[in-house]
Structure 1
Amino acid sequence: MTAPSPAPVATADAPMVQRADHDGFAVLTLNRPASRNALSDAMIAALQKELDAIATDASLRAVVIAAHGPAFCAGHDLKEITGHRDDADRGRRFFADLMARCSAMMQTIVALPVPVIAAVEGVATAAGCQLVASCDLAVAGAGARFATPGVNIGLFCSTPMVALSRNVSRKHAMEMLLTGEMIGAEDAARMGLVNQVAPAGEALDGACAFAARIAAKSRLTLRTGKQAFYEQLEMGLADAYDYAARVMVENMMARDAEEGIGAFVEKRQPVWQEA
């Protein structure tokens, strides 16, 4: 499919996060290219607001997060952080609030009832890499690069580590965290940080193709499956099977499962119920 274009970049007072709805999915575009789409206090708030609205939008079955400019997201705004060094507490309260709200926003992505797909062009560093890792799926343009470079400036990427270590192997995560070096899109795919590598400039096409395929599914089933996936990951094997079996039984009792199985048996397209 041909992906819809992101909303055009407008003036500096344009929304920090632009939303465009398509057939069954939404594209959220980070829109502060001059600051490399850094996760400033305001950017986190803007993204959180859009995610909260999507959580209750029954018309959507997937979300794509893209960005304008040469960087997908350069992590936290270091100029903003430096500015708070002059606070009476040397910035401690601001830093604690910033980390808490950023962590909450990342967890909102994981808890969202529909899959979230990152479309990455350019660099995704530090909390920007965390944003990619927090998404359920990711497509990278061939020129995309990823890093957790905090170690290079005396600030270990501890919060990005949480999402990164849940996506890639321990040794790959430690390599990125301890060296701070950039990795390319192909290495990111090999490590499991991204699902696909698209030609440069076509990450949004690939992400929207994912979203369109997912949008054809039952929203109830997507919500059930996504929640169960993350819940069972934190459990031991026996507990995970017990939990998954309970989820499966409840899913079997749902109208959409009855409809989907019936449609398969009758060789017709299912008609999903909004949920």
Structure 2
Amino acid sequence: MADFEKITETPSNYDDLEQMDTLSILENMNREDKKVADAVALTIPEISALVDALEERFEKGGRLFYIGAGTSGRLGILDASEIPPTYGMPHDRVIGLIAGGDSAIRKAVEFAEDDTQQAWKDLMNFNITVHDTVVGIAASGTTPYVIGGVKDAKAQGILTACITNNPNSPLSRAVDLAIEINVGPEFVTGSTRMKSGTSQKLALNMISTALMIRIGRVKGNKMVNMQLSNNKLVDRGARYLVEALHITYTEAEALLEQYGSVKKALDAKKG
């Protein structure tokens, strides 16, 4: 496409990297990383629109699906996997899918991202419906697995969005809501696990965190629905209760043991 420039493949602003000393490499990488948050900030209106749409669909029982390949797929899976322990949501409400299946999380699966039909097959395994939302993640904006998945989802009346680092890419054109984060050339040319990946992680944090706040999984500024799955989290929950209810730490521990969550304990004592 004449009006589509693959910024993620443009040459680095730096050359002769192998001749740099370690300090120079790190300082230059950090200089590039400082550009990422500003690039994400420019996409906040699009992220906001997506969160609002997700909130409406979640209230109807809808789910959020991330689809991606390689680094992008792994970042989607990472975000999805952290929602249950952090916010106490069921594992089947935010779901990450990667080209090549779960084995691709740790080891690249050759040519898996080139299959335009596999993403929809993967989504169909979850009985996807019109109340769900599919977010395709691809730095390049050209990954066949992702483009095929969002096109098939959109054709079925499902809301689609994307996170990409190439504005006006084929992926952007295929979805309802495009989040296009232009972070410029990578420090190592084409290595999108760097600034592009960082920008995707920031956007995913914003999407899922804002959604969880909007649907009531946070009280004040506390993760009151977190799973109490280790001593650190039990301690955090107890301290939340001490602060909120003005009770002793021992009393807070007893409430957690009785009710099993910070929110249930708060509701019981304040209800």
TM-score (norm 1): 0.30
More strand by share: 1
Structure with more relative contact order (C-alpha pairs < 8 Å, separation 6 or more): 2
